[in-house]
Amino acid sequence: MAPPKPKSKTKPTKKSTSKTNQAKTSSSHDAPMSSLPPDLQQLLLNIFKNAFPETISSDLKPLLQEIKGHLYNRDFATAFGKESYLEAYALRWSPSRALCYLQVFNDLKDELNLKSLQGKSGEADTEPATWNVTCLGGGAGAEIVALAGLMKMLEVADSAHAPYMRVSAIDIADWKRVVTTLTTGSVTAPPISKYASAAVQAANEALTDAEKFSVAFHQHDVLNLENSTLEKIVQGADLVTLMFTLNELYTASLSLTQKFLLNLTTCLAPGARLLVVDSPGSYSSVSLNGAEKKYPMQWLLDHTLLSTGTTRGVLEEAKWEKIKEEESTWFRLGEGLRYPIELEHMRYQLHLYQRLG
């Protein structure tokens, strides 16, 4: 995969305080607050807080400044070349994103066909249905923790019919330890004081069950990934996500990104969904006849996935349809969340496609 996305993370949206999460801009303030249960939002934040206790208890400011500097210079090999950088990055930028992604997944339950899977898992004498998700650029863990949170919400709504989840995260850097630690935190009861009351200890449980929620990490550069390898990874995927990743792929190489999206199309079965979330107003430059022109990311994406052409005079059938689009949406964190590092509201564009047969 192309390197992660410095623009959205080195230049975050207006910040809120870590305790009250009060919006600092009128735009985000006017947006509705997250509809996610506050206690669930806090549970997700606690997973990140408990994941790397030594790193989060240290002075992170110098480390974060180093990472920002490398990202600004587009030196991704250095920015993601040390374990300490990866942990600090996940602690700083992934928690807010995890909450935002959970809101997105929950809002799109109908479009993602989750109700159909829930129905299948309730049929007699059948194995529980499995929802297979591939997260391109998911190494920093935001998508993983968000999906674990979604699993919790589905179980609370209807535990008998909740599908299992199998997640594959692909990234260019070696995020394996971060992915493993955050996955473990999602399927293991959080640490509590040995002096906690019996009632508190009895109520202390994991976000979700390891038998129902599993994650595999794959280290690859998707822009230079053999089609056979890509096909093995995304085989059977019900959903593929590109969260704050696609525009950086376009920036790295427009032609290779277009080729990758076409290869991905051939690897996915009819009915699969592709979810793209990125910064609003993202543009990529295209050089034609020596002249450079900028195109909106969403135009390039639609042009690749939705355009039809002709082969030997025969009109090709469309391979994708767009079933949801939001050009600019704010996500506002809930009130009173507690986290030792600053949290922030987010603004994003969203595009959801369905693979046609």
Q: Is the pLDDT of residue 116 over 80?
A: no
CA dihedral 167, 168, 169, 170 (to 10 degrees): -160
Average pLDDT for residues 232-236, to the nearest whole number? 95
Supply the pLDDT for residue 119: 57
Supply the pLDDT for residue 19: 41
Supply the pLDDT for residue 36: 93
The residues, any chain, with a CB within 8 Å of residue 131's CB and separated by 6 or more, are 114, 117, 163, 164, 165, 166, 238, 239
Q: Is the pLDDT of residue 88 over 70?
A: yes
Q: How is residue 114 written in tokens?
A: 């989750």
Q: pLDDT tens, 94-115?
A: 999 999 999 999 999 999 988 7
Tell me which residue of 356, 278, 271, 324 sits closest to 111, measured CA to CA: 324
Q: Is the pLDDT of residue 126 over 70?
A: no
Q: Is the pLDDT of residue 28 over 70?
A: no
Q: pLDDT tens, 281-338?
A: 887 766 656 677 888 999 999 999 998 766 666 667 899 999 999 999 999 998 899 9
- Rounded Cα–Cα distance for residues 86 and 90 (Å): 6
Q: State the burial class of residue 255 (Cβ atoms within 10 Å of its Cβ: 0-12, 13-18, 19+).
A: exposed
Give the whole-number percent of the chain exceeding pLDDT 90.
66
Higher pLDDT, residue 229 or 12 = 229
Average pLDDT for residues 205-222, to the nearest whole number? 95
Supply the pLDDT for residue 121: 54
Q: What is the CA radius of gyration of the chain?
A: 20
Tell me which residue of 234, 236, 213 sits closest to 225, measured CA to CA: 234
> Which residue is listed with tokens 């990866």?
86
Supply the pLDDT for residue 21: 38
**CB-CB contact of 342 with 316 (8 Å):** no
Supply the pLDDT for residue 16: 39
Supply the pLDDT for residue 10: 35
Min mean pLDDT across 32-36, 116-120, 175-179, 344-348 is at 116-120
Tell me which residue of 305, 306, 282, 303 sits closest to 294, measured CA to CA: 282
**CB-CB contact of 258 with 344 (8 Å):** no
Supply the pLDDT for residue 200: 81
Please state, as a whole number, how many other Cβ atoms lie within 10 Å of the Cβ of residue 309: 7
Q: What is the 3-state secondary structure (H, E, C) of the chain?
A: CCCCCHHHHHCCCCEECCCCCCCCCHHHHHCCECCCCHHHHHHHHHHHHHHCHHHHHCCHHHHHHHHHHHHHCCCHHHHCCCHHHHHHHHHHHHHHHHHHHHHHHHHCCCCCCHHHHHHHHCCCCCCCCEEEEEEECCCCCHHHHHHHHHHHHHHHHCCCCCCEEEEEEEECCCCHHHHHHHHHHHHCCCCCCCCCCHHHHHHCCCCCCCCCEEEEEEECCHHHCCHHHHHHHHCCCCEEEEECCHHHHHHHCHHHHHHHHHHHHHHCCCCCEEEEEECCCCEEEEEECCEEEEEEHHHHHHHHHHCCCEECCEECCCCEEEEEEEEEEEEECCCCCCCCCCEECEEEEEEEEEECC
Supply the pLDDT for residue 7: 40
Average pLDDT for residues 29-33, to the nearest whole number? 72
Average pLDDT for residues 268-278, to the nearest whole number? 97
Higher pLDDT, residue 121 or 131 = 131
Question: pLDDT band at 220, cuts 50/70/90?
Answer: very high
**CB-CB contact of 165 with 185 (8 Å):** no
Average pLDDT, whole number, for the chain? 87
Average pLDDT for residues 192-206, to the nearest whole number? 83
